[in-house]
């Protein structure tokens, strides 16, 4: 990333700096703390903003390249803001056979997003998952930690409308 492209670490707009410093303080004394700190930061902010990773690198004394190496190794870390509601659509064999692709097409039409994207209002993000192990109730969608099975596009529309009103 070119220096002109990356925002300065001091800006960290939209980031609760006191929460960030609290996370750093909580884990600073532990060896091998980078992964735990990154997990805590993502839990607190929903993703890993570049400015925060850069700040963490400086604060805990780990080179920026190594911090990104850790963060990019694990699929759990996201580098862009995700929606309030994370829709994970299963595409395992049972779900695929029972119509997960129809559900994905419906979500794409209904929300205007594809897997890996977030709606403009940051209400929903869509992710595709290999398998949840809920084959008996295929096709399955998780929205945050809520599980919905035996879905059709009509059922999914009602569920999404419920989340829109929350």
Q: What is the pLDDT of residues 48-58, one digit of tens each?
A: 988 899 999 99
Mean pLDDT value of segment 19-37: 84
- What does the pLDDT read at residue 13? 65
Identify the band that residue 130 occupies on the pLDDT scale cut at 50, 70 and 90.
very high
Nearest-CA neighbor of 143 among 135, 155, 15?
155
Out of 3-12, 46-55, 72-81, 149-158, least confident range: 3-12
End-to-end CA distance of the chain: 38
CATH-assigned architecture of domain 85-165: 3-Layer(aba) Sandwich (3.40)
* Alpha-carbon distances, residue 144 vs 25, 50, 105 (angstroms): 28, 24, 20
Tokens found for residue 85: 């509601």
* Alpha-carbon distances, residue 77 vs 3, 40, 72, 92, 165 (angstroms): 23, 11, 7, 22, 28
Mean pLDDT value of segment 142-150: 96
Mean pLDDT value of segment 132-157: 96
3-state secondary structure of 17: helix
Mean pLDDT, rounded, of the chain: 88
- What does the pLDDT read at residue 24? 87
- What does the pLDDT read at residue 4? 43
User: Cα separation of 164 and 158, whole Å?
Assistant: 10
Domain range annotation of the chain: 17-73, 85-165
- What does the pLDDT read at residue 33? 85
Query: Which residue intervals of 10-140 are DSSP H helices?
Result: 17-27, 34-45, 50-60, 64-73, 93-97, 100-111
């Amino acid at each position: 990333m070119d220096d002109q492209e990356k925002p300065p670490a001091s800006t960290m707009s939209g980031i609760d700096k006191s929460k960030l410093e609290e996370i750093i303080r909580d884990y600073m004394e532990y060896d091998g703390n980078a992964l735990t700190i990154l997990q805590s930061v993502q839990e607190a902010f929903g993703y890993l903003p570049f400015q925060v990773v850069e700040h963490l690198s400086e604060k805990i004394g780990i080179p920026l390249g190594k911090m990104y190496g850790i963060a990019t190794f694990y699929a759990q870390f996201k580098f862009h803001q995700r929606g309030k509601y994370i829709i994970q659509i299963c595409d395992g064999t049972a779900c695929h056979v029972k119509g997960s692709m129809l559900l994905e097409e419906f979500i794409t039409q209904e929300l205007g997003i594809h897997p890996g994207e977030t709606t403009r209002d940051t209400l929903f993000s869509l992710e595709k998952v290999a398998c949840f192990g809920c084959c008996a109730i295929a096709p399955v969608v998780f929205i945050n930690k809520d599980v919905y099975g035996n879905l059709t596009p009509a059922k999914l529309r009602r569920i999404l409308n419920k989340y829109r009103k929350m």
